[in-house]
Amino acid sequence: MIPVRGYSGHKVLVLGLGRSGLPSARALREGGAEVLVWDDGEAARAAAEAEGFAAADPTRGGGLDGVKAMIVSPGIPHLYPAPHPAVAAAWDAGVVVDNDIGLFFRSFATPAWEKFDRAPTVVCVTGSNGKSTTAALIAHVAGLAGRTVQVGGNFGRGALDLDPAEDGMVVVLELSSYQIDLARALAPDIAVFMNLSPDHLDRHGGMGGYFAAKRRLFDQGGPERSVIGVDENEGRFLANVVREEAGTGEPVIRISSGRKLSGPGWNVFARKGFLAEWRGGRQVASIDLRGVATLPGAHNHQNACAAYAVARSLGLGPKQIEAALASYPGLAHRSQLIATRADGVKVINDSKATNVDAAEKALLSFDRIRWIAGGRAKEGGIAALGPLFGRIAKAYLIGEAAEDFAATLGETPSEIAGTMERAVERALAEAEPGEVVLLAPACASFDQYASFETRGRHFEELVKAALGL
């Protein structure tokens, strides 16, 4: 736990008591604050009260009396489509609104750092897709290099639930747009922008607001090194804004998957399965990614480029990074190989593909696919995936979106399976040698599952039971 600094003796209210809320309450109490809590769910309030926290409804008269700050969990709207009533009440009462990421950055560095031989490094990773895999890759590479590593934020442990800093520690935080948008303090040493595609638009008032939230990590955070994906215009724009020197490109490392990056700056890109590093107009390293089974497809090659760029910024050598990438074990629910049947049929769990852009990346990774898709659809459905329908041997559709997806697929073979059980049964029964059974839903899970993790675990359990594993 990282004790929160700056609120000792002051009253602070924590709104939302999920994965980040309760750790925030504990860290505030550890730092000497008087902590009040609130959650719209009675069970969550009861769990917090069992730990000795007092519940106080901030929307009721006197609920914010004497409160210096309100710490809001990322799942709670703070602006669009409408602010939560408690957030609006805090505004009216003049109470500072922050989140656990803001508290982390005001509390992680302490006077004890003066005794360290090597200062800790905080790496923050954001983007629409690939954040978790990239964060896990960075941690894997840095850990094999002998660095003490922690991973948290939107993935893994809550930021304030991490351990206090040690000499030379590397902390990797995966940050969502919600977390960046509200944090009052941002101070990464290395910041990574992966990509941008339409997602969470209701929470940001459109694409402009969504990008603006991501951009705060660089504008306000002022990182010493910025690793920026430039495969979309937003990334190209951001790289240009952050650059300080026209000749060297400092402090930016541009990354890409699918095209060669030229120019005098520092570039890392992947093409035809090979990762290349160029500096000052010449190639300085190359890595063959084609044999890394846990990083299939162009999207994972972009993740590898980002992790490579961060590792180089940490002082690691190309050969050292190459060996670490080759031993990466993969991440659950993200292009995860579940099983390979005797006839060569592979089963892949990409339950994290909760939007069309992520599903596109998954579909591009394989040629003959038995596709399990559906759930609670995002805006626009799957129409944008039309050019990839030729890769689909058959689709097995589940959840609320099943009928709409079937209509969009048109002549592409499909059936409405309804449930995951039926979809797995039918896909495995019909899969032919060399094909891939792929769960890449292109949807949120909330119509049938509590989370994409729960959905992915259920898929894995069904597959292993069917194959006798």
Nearest residue to 359 via CA among 232, 154, 198:
198
DSSP letters, 343-373, are TS-EEEE-TT--SHHHHHHHHHT-SSEEEEE
Which residue type occupies 11?
K
Quote the tokens at residue 145. Answer: 């290099």
Task: Quote the DSSP letter at residue 269.
Answer: E
Largest CA distance in the chain: 68
Q: Are 349 and 372 in contact (CB under 8 A)?
A: no
- Burial code of 358-397, b = ≥16 C-beta within 10 A, e = fewer? bbbbbbbbbeebbbbbbbbbbeebbebbeebbebbbbbbb
CA 332 to chain centre: 13
d(CA 225, CA 310): 9
Specify burial of residue 38 (Cβ count, 10 A radius: 0-12, 13-18, 19+): buried
Q: Please state the residue numbers annotated as binding site for ATP.
A: 127-133
End-to-end CA gap in the chain: 38
Nearest residue to 126 via CA among 169, 79, 74:
74
3-class SS of residue 64: coil
Q: CA of 249: how far to CAs of 135, 245, 246, in Å?
A: 24, 5, 6
Q: Are 97 and 69 in contact (CB under 8 A)?
A: yes
d(CA 302, CA 299): 5
